[in-house]
Structure 1
């Protein structure tokens, strides 16, 4: 294979030139990094956290797939994308099965607005899950290469320890600078692998332990939509200034500010009125949306057994038979229970008229 010329006199790479794959690096059992260079020797100019769109020659016709750039523009002679194969994947599956060094692809970009270059701050909190780690890796590498000793708390959620993408590289960064603090949480351990970090879904309690000063940090979040929704719910409930929250879509990165979707999260309003009917007791009480079901019950002279009062122990689990609540819990209730109508009274806010079996 002919080596590309490293010519600093040429212009930065533009998408009128194909990318040439020069290396394929396995990251985890289902995740691979593909490294590209420009055949002309052009260098790459982009913001850490941006994405590139690849034109992939899959059977049946080319498809375009967008991938966050996992490399950093501080290392401009190549560009990398890190892809995780999903069950229904077409483009990524083709890349893993067929893309080899020496092959060339048409590409478009770079583009996107998800970058800490657009939101300068003294302290950052990166929160990611799965392959949502890729823009965070790009931004962290940039901070490392700039030798700025940036203050970054990096929180990442994965299914198992072996599924943590870039784990060794991030640990190398963190071991050499005091400003990078890593916090990993997994859903389940693996046999014969010692795990001493956090375990379970990311929740408010974990976040407070991982980043006690989260209110002071600029937050960047990337992962599956349910994960990002849970993060937003946590931050809103904790009183975080959501003007300082930034997220990248796991499925379709946003190219411009005008294309950014309007996030309309549910948040209890202290001026909005609600009502709770305790069916078994024959009591109906007016309240505000910011009141919890547990607080309204106590105020009405009713007893709902409770323990921790922040959604962890599950003692106050009761069944809701009508209406909607906004519940931000810390692991004290399962998804199956929620689907069957159960709620935790201590962390459920009534959103209008609600009926519970108490």
Structure 2
């Protein structure tokens, strides 16, 4: 938390995003990981017990709200759940969308809230427990289909805004449910926002991100914005969403990110290449790359992380070097 507020820290925090990495080391299927909150929590806690990470998360997939809205879902054994077809294809279907209760017994949102609660009660005193939602723009893409919603932005912008308004309420409900379960911070993914222009981001994504984050802040929570992909073209707009922490993908120049977030007075994390710097790296190569980032970000509100999820096939030796890097290089 000190790194987020700009207070002095003993070392740079280590804040990876781990899903398949945690699931495989727990010896369970991804279907169980994404569908059983206790199994997810125990897998994350096990990683915390084995490695010196400073945060764990309830993130597993992008289809919690979409499922609870009524989408037809598939639950593969070894891959994340997904909607088998768009839930909304017409204006009438949009207006029939319910506002699901995030704590409804048996719902996918309630399952993640349960996972968050278990983690917070078990390790919340000495490890940051990060809840997770998808921001309204990303959620709308899950509900309509990515291509279909992108077309809606230009063909039916008023309808796109109507959907975003409805979805924002559910994202806020889901966020507050996880905060009430004990998570001090909510991670919020908005991957599809990296695919649109700055003008579209300012119209269709940013205002709804701001509303979600304002609601999180209103109850004393913190927010992390995680937009996968090359966000160089929207970095200067993203800082206005109000998030307390920003994830930086490896496709973004690290020096550019350092300058943008330092000038904005914001905390950020990243941006090791999950494949090049971890999966296909030796321990020595990974250590050297971590040292480069730590040196460049010295004095900034920075946390060491990969640009996105760390692959399951990353060796324990390389991951250990990553976790130990701030202590070993004095970061």
Pairwise same-fold verdict (TM > 0.5): no
> Which TM-score band applies after superposition, normalised by the shorter structure?
under 0.3
What TM-score, normalized by structure 2, do the two folds share?
0.27
Q: Which has the larger radius of gyration?
A: 1
What TM-score, normalized by structure 1, do the two folds share?
0.25
Structure with greater strand percent: 1
